[in-house]
Amino acid sequence: MQNKLLFILLFSSILILAQCKPENPLEKIQVSTNEKGELLINVSEAYIQKFKAEGFVHYSDFGAKGDGKSDDIDFIAAAHKFANEYNLSVKTDEGATYYIGGKNRTAVIMTDTDFGTAAFIIDDTEVQDRNASIFRVSSGQEPFKLEGISTLQRNQEKINASLSGTCLVTVTNSHVKHYIRYGSNQNNGSSQTDIFIVDKNGNVDMDAPIVWDFEQITNITALPIDEKILTITGGRFTTIANKAESKYNYHSRNIAIRRSNVIVDGLEHYVTGEGDHGAPYGGFINVSDCSYVTVQNTIFTGHKTYRTIGAAGSPVSMGTYDISIGRSLNESFVNCSQTNDIDDRTYWGLMGSNYCKNLVLDNCIFSRFDAHKGVANATIKNSTLGHMGINAIGSGTFTVENSTIRGGRFINLRSDYGSTWQGEFIIRDCIFVPSGGKTTSASLIGGSYSGQHDFGYTCYMPERITIENLQIDDSNHPEDYQGPVIFGDFNRQMTDDSYLEKFPYVKTREVILRNVTTSSGKDLRLCDNPYMFKDVKVHVE
């Protein structure tokens, strides 16, 4: 009788455990595609409740093998699609290696994602759609058109709008062209555009002000800013480089961030398989149309430089990037580095940006900082920049402090966009190693401006340049070296008042020098061609 009772109790326990045991996810979660290639996901109610109780899903729950061979992109995308619907975070499987082939599929991230210790292999050797991102970090908010706003003024403090909350406003005037590029990559310019933040009452955030006068507006939209911070952590990504023809067919097989308030922490990106030709990349981390994005503790890799024929019919090196930032505000890169030697000229400069405001590098080791179509306010601090140095045009205040610059110039004002900066430079507690220590003559501010090309805007030099505690390592200089100069020779033909600028250049008003030293022992001079800067007031304090 006692044994029979024990048997009944044991059988009941086994039955209860069997009823409580989780079902095999692969039996109750189906991922497929329809005739249009769209993902179809079927999850049983029991598993929906299970995932909701746990608060997260794994890629393996949706069928990802993580063996480094099977293409897992559909299952990765399915996991994120389900997580987005139920507001669940996403985790990788420890030790997994996810292979991602060339299929046209993008995983949309709208919730916290922990890539953890997992590896991702992105194979770009055969890509269906080079413009399709691997991951896109998106907002659940929808943009909407603003009505009743027909003009805007530079530094305008308020717009006529009543909103539900803080919004990111993007404005365009397609009838005005800016950034009419000069040189081998010449073009007809881009439509006038700006991006700024307003609160619910229409007050503009003056830390990132409107930088253009808009006499007419052809499009103006607002996107509510997500208040909750979305975090993406970990992950080791390796791109097997494309083998496409070397021309301007940019590849965007990347993590595209299109949502405000995002932190990327601890990610690593590597590149392998680069040969004697290939198409350029538009940034593995590609940030656009958003604000408040921080990328920290992250490792990048510069891409090999390939050449093609430019718009002017002559050979050019193609820009190719591991970081690309466009039309964005308040973006920071903190404690980041790259795998390549920052002085290796076979690799293109790591980052490029357009239409940004309040861009920050802090404690970074990169081959280059670059602002193509303007940045409004930028800060580089506690950093080291390599062979391509600092290249920029824009407005506001550009601050470089406690940093080492190893480029050809301390700051190069991009001549293809008019060598323009409407504002001021502050250089403080820095070291300048011209051309990474190669034999050269040192100049601090470089650029070129003939005054004969219309860039679509008035071109300026910084109104005020303040240089404090700067060490210039010009020990490796040519025999005829007379000492470093503040300004490079922006226009060799402008040697007297007979030269006429069709589009006049607004020159620097004053330079303030405090404790500038040179390894050569030679004094800092104004310029090898002093006529152009004859009206600049230099104060040595």
**What CATH number did the domain enclosing 296 receive?**
2.160.20
Is residue 403 one of the residues assigned to a domain?
no
Helix (H, G, I), strand (E, B) or coil at 45: helix
Amino acid at 156: Q
CB 426 within 8 A of CB 399: yes
Quick one: which of 237, 232, 231, 233 has its CA closest to 97? 237
Amino acid at 235: G
Quick one: which of 117, 81, 88, 118 has its CA closest to 100? 118
Mean of pLDDT over the chain = 94
pLDDT over 80 at 423, yes or no: yes
Of the listed ranges 6-10, 313-317, 528-532, the least confidently predicted one is 6-10
pLDDT reported for residue 312: 86
pLDDT over 90 at 425, yes or no: yes
Is residue 40 one of the residues assigned to a domain?
yes
Name the token pair of 177: 């062209």
Q: Are residues 311 and 292 in the same domain?
A: yes
Is residue 10 one of the residues assigned to a domain?
no
Q: Find the helix packing angle between 45-54 and 73-86, rounded to 10°.
A: 80
Name the token pair of 295: 């990328």
CA distances from 481 to 442, 446, 519 (A): 9, 17, 13
pLDDT reported for residue 15: 39
What is the pLDDT averaged over residues 300-310? 95
Rounded Cα distance between 123 and 125, Å, is 6
Q: Which of 342, 358, 393 is the last residue of a domain?
A: 393
CB 369 within 8 A of CB 391: yes
More confident residue, 3 or 36: 36
Query: How many structural domains comprise the chain?
Result: 4
| CA dihedral sign of residues 493, 494, 500, 505 | positive
Quick one: which of 373, 367, 380, 366 has its CA closest to 394? 373
Rounded Cα distance between 473 and 425, Å, is 20
Q: Are residues 535 and 475 in the same domain?
A: yes
Q: Are residues 259 and 370 in the same domain?
A: yes
Helix or strand holding residue 74 (H, E): helix 73-86
Q: Which of 393, 424, 443 is the last residue of a domain?
A: 393
Helix or strand holding residue 171 (H, E): strand 167-178
pLDDT reported for residue 8: 39
Q: Are residues 54 and 164 in the same domain?
A: no
Q: Are residues 119 and 74 in the same domain?
A: yes
Is residue 14 one of the residues assigned to a domain?
no
Mind listing the pLDDT tens digit for each residue in 190-209? 999 999 999 999 999 999 99
**Domain span at 153:** 144-224
Q: Are residues 308 and 330 in the same domain?
A: yes
pLDDT over 90 at 445, yes or no: yes
Q: Are residues 512 and 388 in the same domain?
A: no
Instruction: Give the E-state strand segments of 276-383 in sequence order.
Output: 282-288, 291-296, 299-300, 307-309, 315-317, 321-326, 329-334, 337-338, 351-362, 365-381
Helix (H, G, I), strand (E, B) or coil at 184: coil
What is the pLDDT averaged over residues 433-450? 96
pLDDT reported for residue 27: 58
Q: Which of 199, 224, 249 is the last residue of a domain?
A: 224
The angle at the Cα of 503, spanning 499 to 508, to the nearest 5 degrees, equals 80
- Residue 78 DSSP label: H
Alpha-carbon 474 to chain mean position: 32
The angle at the Cα of 360, spanning 356 to 366, to the nearest 5 degrees, equals 105
Q: Are residues 262 and 340 in the same domain?
A: yes
> φ, ψ for residue 8 (rounded to 5)?
-65, -45
Is residue 17 one of the residues assigned to a domain?
no
pLDDT reported for residue 129: 97
What is the pLDDT averaged over residues 350-365? 97
| CA dihedral sign of residues 337, 341, 347, 349 | positive
Rounded Cα distance between 370 and 405, Å, is 13
Q: Is 257 exposed, middle or buried (0-12, 13-18, 19+ CB in 10 A)?
A: buried
Q: Are residues 415 and 532 in the same domain?
A: yes
Is residue 400 one of the residues assigned to a domain?
no
Q: Are residues 240 and 382 in the same domain?
A: yes
pLDDT over 70 at 219, yes or no: yes
Is residue 398 one of the residues assigned to a domain?
no
pLDDT reported for residue 19: 39
The set of residues, in sequence order, having a beta carbon less than 8 Å from that of 466 and lying 6+ positions away, is 424, 425, 426, 427, 428, 511, 512, 514
pLDDT reported for residue 2: 45
Q: Are residues 466 and 499 in the same domain?
A: yes
Is residue 21 one of the residues assigned to a domain?
no
Q: Are residues 388 and 368 in the same domain?
A: yes
CB 442 within 8 A of CB 474: yes
pLDDT reported for residue 475: 95
What is the pLDDT averaged over residues 134-148? 95
pLDDT reported for residue 11: 41
